[in-house]
Amino acid sequence: MKCLQTLCKARNIVPSSLCLRDVIREGENPVGGGGFADIWKGRRHDTQVCLKVLRVFGTEEQKAKVLRHFCQEALVWRQLRHPNILPFLGVSEDLFAPRYCLISPWIVNGNIVSYLEVHPDHDRLTSVVQVAEGVKYLHNHNPPIVHADIRGANILVMDDLRCCLADFGLSLFAESQALESSSRMSKGSTRWLAPEYIIPNAVINRAYLTARDVYAYGCTVVEIFTGKPPFSDIKNEAAVIHAVMTGSRPLRPQHLLQDGLWSLVTKCLTTSPSQRPTAEQVTRALTGQRMEGWPIRGFTAGFAGFRRSVIYLRDPRSMLTLFSDV
């Protein structure tokens, strides 16, 4: 795959095996959009699909860079197979020519934030466990895949209420992740962005590139349990940046997060990337598996009626708070 990825980036082409010819678009206008693309509804046979159409502006050199990014995104997403990762169907070169589009299933329930507005009794704890499983799957690739834009808007709720990570418009292989300070602020949404991508002149160690996803995950847990973005008490984005640079973190949701879960979230939000738990460690803590030799018994999957006390078992290597039933 790595050779194919390199070839496609060099020639700005998408493999023909990824191109779908049997897709039609619906409507005269997009139904949404993000930083890099417009979102349209489409149909493939009898199934509704989502068409993510790249916005390509700027000089020819800039357009070529966007196209290379598109080719890379398509190839990365194509390889992913996991219950908590949104499936990828293919691409189209014709529907919006000369613009390309990514094709994925259309998710009726929408993202987790909008879903919770309509279904406030949804099992939020199970949702955060499922998101952690998806992040772990990405990071366990060799080289690891960094999603780089984990937040509620990019977590979709499937028909069976399973949460899936979506929108890999900013995801990159960790080994090719851009480290230039000039590109940091464009790679992620500010309120979920790790401090090392905000603090000027911060040195980013390639060994901890995946840690940015862990930080964003911690912010997303807060978002899922409150229904509000992190730092919801701060309205101005510049003020959010200043808060992060001075060591502030999202406020704890009162009466919504148990002590143990909040302790895990605070570890994810640690300033130093090297001190954050890995996605593997987060998932093990949440699912009640063994971690670093510590036994953790049955982490209940339901939020309603959840009752638990916390035993602070400090592992000197990970410094994670572990959970135990009483």
- Strand partners of residue 43: 24, 48
Rounded to whole angstroms, the Cα distance separating 79 from 253 reads 37
- What percentage of the chain exceeds 70 in pLDDT? 73
pLDDT digits (tens, 9 = 90+) for 267-308: 999 999 999 999 999 999 998 743 343 333 333 333 333 323
Average pLDDT over residues 246-274: 90
For Cα atoms 241, 211, 104, give the angle at the middle one, nearest 5 degrees: 90
Q: If we measure between CA atoms, which residue out of 279, 283, 276 comes closest to residue 319? A: 276
CATH 1.10.510.10 range(s) for the chain read 112-289
CATH 3.30.200.20 range(s) for the chain read 12-105
pLDDT of residue 175: 32
Sorted by sequence, the CB contacts under 8 Å of residue 27 that are 6+ apart come out as: 40, 41
pLDDT of residue 129: 96
- What percentage of the chain exceeds 90 in pLDDT? 48
Q: Answer whether 246's CB lies under 8 Å from 178's CB.
A: no
Cα-flanking dihedrals φ and ψ of residue 17, to 5°?
Answer: -65, -20
Confidence of residue 21 (pLDDT cuts 50, 70, 90): confident
Encode 125-151: b = buried (16+ Cβ within 10 Å), e = exposed: bbbbbbbbbbbbbbbeeebbbbbbbbb
Q: Is the pLDDT of residue 34 over 50?
A: yes
Radius of gyration of the chain (CA): 20
Rounded to whole angstroms, the Cα distance separating 325 from 168 reads 37
pLDDT of residue 288: 72
SS3 per-residue string spanning the chain: CHHHHHHHHHHCCCCHHHECCCEEEECCCCCEECCCEEEEEEEECCEEEEEEEECCCCCHHHHHHHHHHHHHHHHHHHCCCCCCECCCCEEEEEEECCEEEEEEECCCCCEHHHHHHHCCCCCHHHHHHHHHHHHHHHHCCCCCEECCCCCHHHEEECCCCCEEECCCCCCEEHHHCCCCHHHCCCCCCHHHCCHHHCCCCCCCCHHHCCHHHHHHHHHHHHHHHHCCCCCCCCCCHHHHHHHHHCCCCCCCCCCCCCHHHHHHHHHHCCCCHHHCCCHHHHHHHHHCCCECCECCCCCCCCCCCCCCCECCCCCCCCCCCCECCC
Q: Is the pLDDT of residue 140 over 60?
A: yes
Q: If we measure between CA atoms, which residue out of 167, 182, 124, 2 comes closest to residue 75? A: 2
pLDDT digits (tens, 9 = 90+) for 42-92: 999 999 999 988 776 777 777 676 666 667 767 777 889 999 999 988 888
Average pLDDT over residues 15-40: 84
Q: Answer whether 224's CB lies under 8 Å from 128's CB.
A: yes
Average pLDDT over residues 157-161: 97
Lowest mean pLDDT of 28-42, 72-86, 166-180, 260-274, name the range: 166-180
Class of CATH domain 12-105: alpha beta
Lowest mean pLDDT of 55-69, 102-116, 164-178, name the range: 164-178
Average pLDDT over residues 208-234: 95
Confidence of residue 8 (pLDDT cuts 50, 70, 90): low
pLDDT of residue 325: 34
Whether CATH 1.10.510.10 fits 112-289: yes
Q: Is the pLDDT of residue 322 over 70?
A: no
Mean of the per-residue pLDDT values of the chain: 78
